[in-house]
Amino acid sequence: MKLLALDTSSEGCSAALFVDGEVFEKFEIAPRGHTRLLMPMIRGLLAEQGLKPADLDALAFACGPGSFTGVRIATGVIQGLAWGLDLPVVPVSSLEAVALGAIEALQVGEGEGVAVAFDARMSELYWGCFRNRSGLPELLGEERVCSPSRVALEAGVANWVGASQGWAFRDGMPDDISERINSVDEALVPRASWVARLAAVKFSQGLAVPADRAQPVYIRDEVTWKKLPGRE
């Protein structure tokens, strides 16, 4: 199977190729460079593996939550490629992608938990709790956006780690959260290599969608979005 995955949902910009079980990635921290970097990354990856766009079987992208602008960039590129190449798309949660990275980076054991927190601006966090299920993140409850003071760990998991930059707001979280977290890696951001690996599994489970259904996931509802200055 040959799958191209993209991520621009945070300050990181990356593209990855999943080729018959192997993953090849280009990644750069570039908060304002997604548009400039993404297409050269895609072309470079394909050229290095001796592939043409027509050789791909599927596409994938980190659909959010994350930076509104970043998520829209990946969505637009992936939809254009999907329509042009007539390929299915696998949307992957940005929070889930980081949970996969945390399972490996923090050596999370079977059945243990990963609490992923992104800075959602406006004094809020994007929050998702996952359990390690045979090396893959299993979502517990729902992904949501809330203030640090309202985050909560899901029941049924004894040991937890924290992942991503939202943990910089740990002091604002309830006391019992900090007490139950064994370690935290604030440096983890979504990467296309993690998106690709999750997408390959989801594709085998029949979770790919046509281009018009490859949509961004903002989580933040319309009422909250309208709170931004200058919005009516």
Identify the pLDDT of residue 225. Answer: 37
Least confident of 19-23, 29-33, 71-75: 29-33
Identify the pLDDT of residue 178. Answer: 81
How would residue 221 be classed by pLDDT, with cut points 50, 70 and 90? low
- Confidence (pTM): 0.94
Q: Domain 2-94+190-225: which topology?
A: Nucleotidyltransferase; domain 5 (3.30.420)
Homologous superfamily of the 95-185 domain (CATH)? ATPase, nucleotide binding domain (3.30.420.40)
Which residues of the chain form CATH 3.30.420.40?
2-94+190-225, 95-185
Q: Which residue has the higher pLDDT, 131 or 231?
A: 131
Which residues does 30 contact at the CB level (< 8 Å), separation at least 6? 11, 12, 13, 36, 37
Whether the per-residue pLDDT at 215 is higher than 70: the answer is yes
Q: Which helix (H) or strand (E) holds 58?
A: strand 58-64
- The position carrying tokens 């945070």 is 10
Q: Which residue has the higher pLDDT, 184 or 228?
A: 184
Q: What is the mean pLDDT of the chain?
A: 94
**Residue 197 identity:** R
pLDDT per position as a tens digit, 32-79: 899 999 999 999 999 999 999 999 999 999 999 999 999 999 999 999
CA distances from 230 to 68, 132, 225, 226, 227 (A): 16, 42, 11, 9, 8
The residue count for the chain? 232
